[in-house]
Structure 1
Amino acid sequence: MPERRAAAARRAARLSLRRRLLTFLLVPVLGVLVLDAVIGYFVALAYSNRVHDADLSDSALTLSEMIDSDALSGELTAQARFLLEYDPDGRNYYSVVSDRHGRMIGNAELTGPGVTIHTDAPPKLYDTALGRRPLRAAIMRVPNRHDAGDVLTITVAENLRDRHTRAREILFLTLPMQALLIVAVLCLVWLGVSHGLGVLEPLTARLSRRGHDLGPIGEEDVPVEILPLTRTIDDLFARMRNMLGLQERFIADAAHQLRTPLAGIQLHVERLEGTTDDAERADALAHVHRLAARAARTSAQLLALTRTQSPDLPDHDGMDLIDLSTLVPEAVGMRVHQALSLGVDLGYEGGEGPCLVRGDALQIQEVIDNLVDNAFHYAGRGHAVTVSLAGTEDEVILAVEDDGPGVDEAFLDQLGERFFRVPGSDQEGTGLGLAIVESIAERHAARVVFRRGAESGLRVELHFPAPLTGKPGETAH
């Protein structure tokens, strides 16, 4: 049960392209709705302020006209006071102050804007306060028509409650329409995402019908946005085809190359079972031993060839910097004892100084072993095998040369092919040694050259490109 719950939780937490697209689209749209409401409120408030400011200016002008028409006796008529003070959400305030006589009428002590107000100028609007209550006021100065030389300062003010109320009313009128528009946009986004993802259905259906086909997906019905994904999958399929091809080739090669020694082993085992003659039994055991060794060597070389062709190995540029002037003499030294036992004169020739290449030390060791084994095998007792190393500015040349019977020039171009053996040769072999050398050389960006020896025999050269960067002290092995 805990495992099932954990699996269900993992499935629930699995990324959904639809959910991610809708989240990336819907959340910003909702944010835009909130931002639009805030901006709409301040726009409505600005409009409300403009209307109320105009009303304030009109009130100041109206009060000045009242003063012109009637001499002030210290009070306004009840009708005029009602018109000035009326406000359904609070109170309005006014005052008339004479430069000569002081405050004449009014219902509040209103402070001025702190700047000079010119006589007969249009009403000036400003923010003020009465106690802790914020107000918006209009002020103007007019001559006192009933007292020559006197100037009256007329101030009319109102609180801000009605302005905010009008702004909210405007917002509440427009917000439902905006919300309806946003909902329509969200529905369109939902439908658009669903329809957009629907274009993947033909591709999904086509892939589901492929079965075990590892061919390229192609691009005929693939949307541009997912082309990088399908191309990556095609690269993966190509690597898988390569791996499967290597496996199938290995199985086929193993079946082909091991069939003869295994059949021979079975035949000689049957001889052992069917005879009591000691000489015949000894001959059968000798054949079994020889065929078993051949099968083991064939299997080992097949595995070695398959390893050199593995796509998991690093390419030439990703290999380490190694010094062949150290590696090659060590590899030759390890084969001296075998050369002595076979009666072969094994030698090494190399210049002074490092010979740097980019490569894999173990694979180059395998190259040397295969070339030396091939020379031992076909040169034979009493002959010489020489391993040489030379370097130039552009390349490093590793060569293995013997003075044996050699190979006819007509067959030099075929050396390195899988299972190729020179016709007429009486030496047993798998035909894989030089194929392994060719495969390793290709991975190291090296060139293999087969040619006749200086006097006789065969000379095999590997031309490694000199590294573009690196110093002797940077060798990795």
Structure 2
Amino acid sequence: MRTPARDQRRPSLRRRLLVFLLIPMAVLLMLDALLSYGVALTYANRVHDRGLSDDALMLANMLGNGELGNQLSPQARFLLEYDREGHSYFSVRSSRHGLIAGDGELPLPAKMPVADAVPSLYDTAFDRHTLRAATVRAVAPRDPTDSLIVTVAETLRDRHGQAREILLLSILMQASLIACVLSLVWFGVSRGLRVLDPLTARLAARSHELTPIDAPDVPQEIQPLTRTIDALFGRLRSTLALHDRFIADAAHQLRTPLTGLSLHVDRAIADPRPETMADAFSHIRRLTQRAARTSSQLLALTRAQAAPLDTDEPQLLDLGRLIPDAVSQRVHEAIRAGVDLGYSCSGQPLSILGDASSVLDLLDNLIDNAVRYAGRGSSVTVNLQAQVDGGVCLSVEDNGPGVPPELLPRLSERFFRVAGNNEEGSGLGLAIVQRIVERHHATITYRLGEEHGLRVEVHFPAPIPPVSRQA
């Protein structure tokens, strides 16, 4: 039974979407806050720099017009020095008489401005404070040869305070906007995920159906998932079809030997004479061997039909080594059957991409078919040759009675056996060969021998280098 704790450990698409949106938005908010603070500080500096310049020019004009003389009134000094969060500083210097008023230690700019020019703005430090100062030069009112240097400075607290106020207002507005966006995203994601409800309902309503689930109402973003599921259903249908076919084939092929076994057992029980028992046991042995071979052939056919070779990892096989070893293992069996089994090869490198066990099954079935139906006193030759296109041709040829030309296209059919042949067989050998050939993207050709008999040729394609296959 599903528990709430287990559900909480499961990944949530809604939560993941929200996290993927929330983290970038938080990063963007921080970057925007830094940018907003920089913009606000720049704006505050411009406003205060303009005020400093105006104060310096105003004081210089008042001194230049002779309105203040050489002294500043206490009221004017208070207005110049007043700052609610610190101090404002000023100094008035004469090029001839030195300091007239203000702080004599207030630093001057590195490059002094010319008379009646735009005030020079610069950063400096004084009295353990970082200051922003403006300096202007004016002509002395009573002595044209003298000049007055007026400097007005202030701390940076007011500038930073205004920048923080602007930043706070912008963050509040942007945070509210992000909260609204996240709410809309939450609502949109929740509403958007409801498009999966019809698909979920269709899957829940199914019992044992494996038909495709893709439909026009499936969103485009979900189509790769539904197509993958449909492909899985297709493979399951193929597997189940193979399963059903195997059961049907097994029942069809094993019914005859099992019926014969039952008859001969009843015969041995009914007539216990030694000669009758020996004959019954001989038939029982033959039928048992036939049932065992039929079972192994059915299993081999099922393996050959199970999946294409592309789903596995094909290996580079050297047929020049694999085939001779496999042929040598069948020589003793061919001798007992009175068949001359031989092998010939061009001696060139002969490699293919494939599955070794499947290729050996293919060769075993071809040799078994040739030895079984060629008859005693015949010869079977296994030949391996390189092709012009880089592929390999594997052929098995016998000089037996052969097959009528009109029946050659039917040799790969399951359970097909040429009429008039007295050899027992399941009719599955060449069908297994056909499935293995298809798995290796090869081709198979049946033709009559040079004199008589049957020649089977399997053409394997040239091995493709791994880099080319990935490309």
Per the normalisation by structure 1, the TM-score is 0.89
* Alpha carbons 1:127, 1:137 under 8 Å: kept: yes
Aligned to 2:417: 421
Distance between the aligned counterparts of 2:385 and 2:76, measured in 1?
118
Aligned to 2:35: 39
Q: 1:452 to 1:113 in 2, by over 3 A?
A: same
| Structure 1 position 310, deviation (Å) | 2.2
Q: What does residue range 77-476 of structure 1 map to in structure 2 within 5 Å? A: 77-218=73-214, 220-311=216-307, 313-314=309-310, 318-324=314-320, 326-394=321-389, 395-467=391-463
Q: 1:28 to 1:338 in 2, by over 3 A?
A: closer
* Alpha carbons 1:385, 1:403 under 8 Å: kept: yes
Gaps of 5+ in 2: 467-471
Fraction of identical pairs, as percent: 55
Bigger shift: residues 389-398 or 13-22: 389-398
What amino acid maps onto 1:377 in structure 2? R
Secondary structure of residue in 2 paired with 1:309: helix
What amino acid maps onto 2:314 in structure 1? G
Distance between the aligned counterparts of 1:258 and 1:77, measured in 2?
127
Secondary structure of residue in 2 paired with 1:208: helix
| Structure 1 position 71, deviation (Å) | 6.4
User: Is the aligned partner of 1:27 residue 2:26?
Assistant: no
Q: 1:353 to 1:105 in 2, by over 3 A?
A: closer
* Alpha carbons 2:63, 2:70 under 8 Å: kept: no
Distance between the aligned counterparts of 2:251 and 2:102, measured in 1?
118
Q: How many residues align?
A: 465
Q: 1:102 to 1:315 in 2, by over 3 A?
A: closer
Per the normalisation by structure 2, the TM-score is 0.90
* Alpha carbons 1:322, 1:359 under 8 Å: kept: no
Aligned to 1:474: none
CA RMSD for the aligned pairs? 2.7
Q: 1:51 to 1:251 in 2, by over 3 A?
A: same
**Residue-by-residue CA offset, 1:170-200 (whole Å, 9 max, x unaligned):** 3333432222222111211222222222222
**Residue-by-residue CA offset, 1:154-185 (whole Å, 9 max, x unaligned):** 11122222222222233333432222222111
Bigger shift: residues 12-21 or 302-311: 12-21
Q: 1:40 to 1:368 in 2, by over 3 A?
A: closer
| Structure 1 position 312, deviation (Å) | 6.5
Aligned to 1:18: 14
Distance between the aligned counterparts of 1:108 and 1:225, measured in 2?
75
| Structure 1 position 468, deviation (Å) | 5.6
What amino acid maps onto 2:245 in structure 1? R
Bigger shift: residues 285-294 or 71-80: 71-80
Distance between the aligned counterparts of 1:331 and 1:410, measured in 2?
32
* Alpha carbons 1:84, 1:93 under 8 Å: kept: yes
**Residue-by-residue CA offset, 1:362-387 (whole Å, 9 max, x unaligned):** 33332232222222222222333333
* Alpha carbons 1:93, 1:108 under 8 Å: kept: no
Q: 1:126 to 1:307 in 2, by over 3 A?
A: same
* Alpha carbons 1:315, 1:443 under 8 Å: kept: no
**Residue-by-residue CA offset, 1:400-442 (whole Å, 9 max, x unaligned):** 2333322222222211210001123222211011111222222
Distance between the aligned counterparts of 1:432 and 1:362, measured in 2?
18
* Alpha carbons 1:92, 1:159 under 8 Å: kept: yes
**Residue-by-residue CA offset, 1:118-172 (whole Å, 9 max, x unaligned):** 1112322222221321111221111111234221111112222222222223333
* Alpha carbons 2:348, 2:386 under 8 Å: kept: no
Distance between the aligned counterparts of 1:451 and 1:71, measured in 2?
126
Distance between the aligned counterparts of 1:85 and 1:236, measured in 2?
84
Q: 1:161 to 1:345 in 2, by over 3 A?
A: closer
Q: 1:299 to 1:116 in 2, by over 3 A?
A: same
Aligned to 1:473: none
Q: 1:62 to 1:304 in 2, by over 3 A?
A: same
Q: 1:79 to 1:389 in 2, by over 3 A?
A: closer
**Residue-by-residue CA offset, 1:1-31 (whole Å, 9 max, x unaligned):** xxx9xx9877544322222211111111122
Distance between the aligned counterparts of 1:247 and 1:428, measured in 2?
26
Q: 1:132 to 1:458 in 2, by over 3 A?
A: same
